[in-house]
A and B are shown apart, each in its own frame.
Chain A
Amino acid sequence: MKTDISKVRNIGISAHIDSGKTTLTERILFYTKRIHTIHDVKGKDGVGATMDSMELEKERGITIASAATFCEWNEHEVNIIDTPGHVDFTIEVERSLRVLDGAILVLCSVGGVQSQSITVDQQMKRYKVPCIAFINKCDRSGANPERVIVQLKEKLGHNAVALQMPMGLEIKFEGVIDLIKMKALYFDGSNGETVREEEIPSQYLEEANAKRDTMLDAISIFSDELTEALLEEKEITQAMIIEAVRKGTLTRELTPVMIGSAYKNKGVQPLLDGVNAFLPCPSDVENEALDTEENEKTVILSTDMKKPLVSFAFKLEDGQYGQLTYIRVYQGAINKGDTVINVRTGKKVKIGRLVRLHANHSEEIEMIPSGYIGAMFGIDCASGDTFTAPGLSLTMTSMYVPDPVISLAIVPKDNKSEMNMSKALNRFTKEDPTFKAHVDDETNETIISGMGELHLEVYVERMRREYNAEVSTGQPRVAYRETITQRADFNYTHKKQTGGSGQYGRIAGYIEPTDEGDFIFENDIKGGSIPTQYIPACEKGFKNCMAKGPLMEFPVTGVKITINDGASHSVDSSDMAFQAAARGAFLEGYRRATPVIHEPIMKVVVETPTEFQGTVMGTLNQRRGMIVGAQDEGVMCVIEAHLPLADMFGYSTVLRSSTQGKAQFTMEFSTYKQVPKNIAEELLKKAAENKKKAA
């Protein structure tokens, strides 16, 4: 580990799906001699890229979990976290950007700024992470870096400044022109490992000069020396330019843009030079903690190793050697054997093993100094916990955890699977705060919730592979209700008098709908036709019927029962008899009271770019939705609708795919409403079939 913190870079690589993050990381590791062979993400050799260590990742060719590694480039130590591109795994990006100092925003030169590019950009903004934009895949058909730079400006609002221009594009892509050095760069060798500098070919010279002028104009604002040199037509040195670009980048007022093709081994080494030159070292970044004893006053942390420890646990993995907690040290240092405090729990913990990570491998270290990321074994804690030296009252703000958007019911296939499923859920929910599991009180189903279908699919598959828990999944059951729509009389006699002690009770009265509560019982008995001591039993009998309605065994709501007559027997009447009578009376009255099924109606609010307003309204309309209104807010608009919960299953996927992932929605319970007749008939039919199967 470097002692000179100015030569340390902690960077994340983030982007939309399939932009080339993992491929780029693979090349970085190769050129920095961290690995000796390049393997493709979904290569024919089946090995997979270094950072995709999970079997599922290799099989599917996607990054599921973020992976950390480190390397060295031109005397700088570069700690890298490669993150997933799918929004389903957004927590990995969130936690990585929380602890990193800089980032590379990878953009596909064909796809440009895509939906997850917008999300990761927002995440970088949230944590104020400076970034370099790398326009990748310039070898692909349709590559257009100029268009991507315009999108960076218009869609993401970046002050994007190109530091390079391509020499050829698509199949003719042969290298890049460095507008700072004004040299052409070619990448020779079987893996592009040798960077050859040449004079700019004549056909590109005019354009290169024009682009350099544009670049200098854009960055001069960050350097008085550069501005002066431009105005007075003095020599402009590379150092001046680099200093100006760095200054703009560190304050996030400028985004340097570099170009290449990681897959074709072009443009990666200059990008690494850019990381060293433009992205911050740990001491360039102002990190804050809150003083819990001073009303959460903000305290600026120092990278001084001599100061008391302040560190942040941002990821945990449960493994065979216990919990592995990824940690970023902001102030001081963590040494093996130290005693530190978990600020959230207040507990003291002794640090056992400390490691540094390279994908799924680790190497033992004695200490994690300030500005570095490492991991500790065997400490039980949660993501977002702050660890400090004893006596310190500082805590760090945690990362933002978005709410889940989709739920599934899961059913284990057998008892063994049930136990294993439970263990798996405990572990996964601990490791991933966006993955939640609970048992529904009403339906008794185990419900898992996550950020998307892929998210849940991956966990179900991991349950199967890692825990041998076979589960089946399905739509969560909707919590329907039953109620009545009109008043109906009842007059029921419960009689069992066949010899010996019998049972007798008669209850008369009426059942009617009410708005005033779920269940109201009124005693209107006159003249003691039902003895007072049996009235509570009557009420209990009626109330017990409310839990499972006669129609479909859904809870009954909005019912008022008034009893006004009855009869008892001096010997055979009892609490039990009147409870039974109440049950019979309830069934009798209920059937006559035109019972109906109610379904939960949700208030759904969709936020979407205005261009998709019509499409979104169409998706809501298709789901028996009643659109309340649409609120235009310039670039975005907000649509409010009321939809039955039963029709919301899978909506997040539909919304994403119909709006290129740019729309989001929230959903909350609004009210219960009567189910349309045809749906009620379907439900009744299904319930009858299920009963038959069960019988």
Chain B
Amino acid sequence: MVKKEIFFPDPFKQMGENIPAAGGFGALTASAGIGKTAFLVRMSLSSLLRDNNILHISLNNPVEKVCLQYEEVFRNLAAQHKVKVSDQLWETILPNRFIMTFKAETFSAPKLEERVNDLTEQGIFFPRMIVLDGLPFDEAPRKTFTDLKSLARKHGVPIWFTVRTHRHAPPGPDGIPLPMLHVADLFEAIFELHAEGNDIRLQSVRK
């Protein structure tokens, strides 16, 4: 049995007490290119190393690309923390991850529910957390989110979303990003990633 060495700081600890519980929604917002997906993957990796099953949903990216994103973030973290990680460790955490990709235009909560049920009813995979990358918030109607909320509650999992904001568009009231205004009340946690020089800062918007 390979010991899972957790060699990088837990990003959830950095988020403080604002982490949504089972059935809750969390959002990572940023403009294009800041690193929302990379941070989301880092959160997933942290959970995977703690033996939590992650269902990673990506819209408009193939499975292979998502796999490469995980490998890249994992190796970068190892290099950053000067840790030599074995292939065995990587192999050990992979079974805890399940990737699903959809085309954004055909994605729907009922479809996702059907797919998740396929996994749970056959005992194939029980997610402890769902990450959903690439959902276009400004196009998705509120119903999509209320349906996803029901799904999250039914399966007892939190769902983390990435939200693309526009660089030059100011946030709405209470600092809520514009694309999220119509569904902000459904979110227990909203974080913003923004660049400060060479660093990327994580800041809570929803307190």
Contacts and interface: CB of A to CB of B under 8 A. Distances in A.
B67 A628 contact: yes
A631 B122 contact: no
Contacts of A614: 114-115, 117-119, 121-122
B175 interface: no
Contacts of A629: 56, 63, 66-67, 98-101
Contacts of B114: 614
A536 to B, nearest CB: 33
Contacts of B169: none
A613 interface: yes
A633 B117 CA distance: 19
A633 B115 CA distance: 13
B87 interface: yes
B91 A640 contact: no
Given A613-B115, A613-B118, A621-B122, A626 B103 contact: no
Interface in A622-643: 626-634, 638, 640
B124 A628 contact: no
Interface string B76-96: 000000000001000100110
Contacts of A627: 98, 124-125
A618 B124 CA distance: 7
Contacts of A630: 63, 99-101, 115
B103 A618 contact: no
Contacts, number: 61
- By DSSP majority rule, is chain A's interface helix, strand, loop, or mixed? strand
A638 B101 CA distance: 10
A617 interface: yes
A629 B97 CA distance: 9
B198 interface: no
B166 to A, nearest CB: 28
Interface string A423-467: 000000000000000000000000000000000000000000000
B63, B87, B103, B106: residue with the most chain A Cβ atoms closer than 10 Å: B63
Given A617-B122, A618-B124, A628 B63 contact: yes
B110 interface: no
Nearest to A635: B106
Nearest to A626: B95
A631 B107 CA distance: 12
Interface residues of A, number: 18
A628 B99 CA distance: 6
Contacts of A618: 122, 124
Given A629-B67, A640-B63, A621 B124 contact: yes
- By DSSP majority rule, is chain B's interface helix, strand, loop, or mixed? helix
B123 to A, nearest CB: 8
B187 interface: no
B113 to A, nearest CB: 12
Interface string B42-70: 00000000000000100000111011000
A477 to B, nearest CB: 25
Contacts of B125: 627
A630 B58 CA distance: 10
Contact of B94 (A621, A626, A632, A638): A626
Contacts of A515: 87
Contacts of B107: 632
B70 to A, nearest CB: 10
Contact of B103 (A617, A621, A634, A673): A634
Contacts of A673: 91
B7 interface: no
Interface in A256-311: none
A633 to B, nearest CB: 7
A629 B62 CA distance: 9
Contacts of A621: 122-124
B145 interface: no
Contacts of A626: 94-95
Contact of A633 (B67, B98, B103, B122): B103
A515, A618, A632: residue with the most chain B Cβ atoms closer than 10 Å: A632
B39 interface: no
A631 B62 contact: yes
A621 B91 CA distance: 17
Nearest to B66: A629
Nearest to B102: A632
Contacts of A634: 103, 106
Contacts of A628: 63, 67, 94, 98-99
Given A515-B87, A627-B125, A617 B101 contact: no
A631 B119 CA distance: 14
A633 B101 CA distance: 9
Contact of A617 (B63, B67, B124): B124
Contacts of B124: 617-618, 621, 627
A630 B100 CA distance: 5
B84 to A, nearest CB: 12
A291 B158 CA distance: 63
B106 A632 contact: yes
Contacts of A633: 103
B101 to A, nearest CB: 5
A515 B88 CA distance: 11
B124 to A, nearest CB: 5
A472 B184 CA distance: 68
B133 to A, nearest CB: 13
A346 B10 CA distance: 69
B95 to A, nearest CB: 5
Interface in A666-680: 673
B118 A631 contact: no
A490 B102 CA distance: 55
B103 A632 contact: yes
B90 to A, nearest CB: 11
A640 B100 CA distance: 10
Contacts of B115: 613-614, 630, 632
A614 B121 CA distance: 9
Given A613-B118, A617-B119, A621-B122, A632 B95 contact: no
B67 A632 contact: no
A173 B191 CA distance: 70
Nearest to B119: A617
A604 to B, nearest CB: 13
A614 B116 CA distance: 9
A629 B56 CA distance: 9
Interface string A26-37: 000000000000
A690 to B, nearest CB: 31
Interface string A633-668: 110001010000000000000000000000000000
Interface of B: 56, 62-64, 66-67, 87, 91, 94-95, 98-103, 106-107, 111, 114-115, 117-119, 121-125
Interface of A: 515, 613-614, 617-618, 621, 626-634, 638, 640, 673
Q: Closest 8 A-B residue pairs measured CB to CB?
A: A629-B99, A614-B118, A629-B63, A632-B102, A631-B101, A621-B124, A618-B122, A631-B63
13 contacts: A614-B119, A617-B122, A617-B124, A626-B95, A628-B99, A629-B56, A629-B66, A629-B99, A630-B63, A631-B62, A632-B102, A632-B115, A640-B64
Given A613-B115, A617-B122, A632-B106, 16 more contacts: A613-B118, A614-B115, A614-B118, A614-B122, A617-B118, A618-B122, A618-B124, A621-B122, A630-B100, A630-B115, A632-B100, A632-B101, A632-B102, A632-B107, A632-B115, A673-B91
